Amino acid sequence: MRYYATASGPAVREAIAAGLLGMIATPAAGNAVRPGWNWCADNSAYTGRYPGDTAYLAWLARRRQHAGRCAFATAPDVPGNAAATLTAATPMLARIRAAGYPAALVAQDGLEHHTVPWNEFDVLFIGGTTDWKLGPAAAGLVAAAVAHGKRAHLGRVNSLTRLRYAASIGCHSVDGTYLAYGPRRNLPRLLRWLATVNTPHEGIEMTTNPATPTEPTPSTQGRPAWTVERIRALGATTDIATAAAIFGLSRSRAYELARTGHLPVPVLRIGSRYRVSVPAILTTLGVPANHSDRPPPAT
Last residue of one domain, picked from the residues 197, 217, 246: 197
CA distances from residue 61 to 66, 76, 168, 282 in whole angstroms, order as listed? 10, 16, 35, 44
pLDDT at 211 (0 to 100): 31
| Rounded alpha-carbon distances, angstroms, from residue 189 to 79, 182, 193, 231, 257 | 30, 11, 6, 28, 18
Domain tally, the chain: 2
Domain interval for residue 90: 2-197
Judge whether 290 lies within some domain: no
Query: Which of 197, 227, 253 delimits the end of a domain?
Result: 197
- What 3-state DSSP class applies to 81? coil
Which of 27, 34, 42, 28 lies closest to 7 in space, CA to CA?
34
Q: What confidence score (pLDDT) does residue 291 get?
A: 52
Contacts of 121 (CB under 8 A, 6+ apart): 75, 93, 103, 104, 105, 150
Distance CA 83, CA 96 (A): 20
Residue type, 251: R
Q: Is residue 291 part of a domain?
A: no
Point out the residues of the chain with pLDDT beneath 50.
Answer: 200-224, 292-299
What CATH number is associated with residue 160?
3.20.20.60
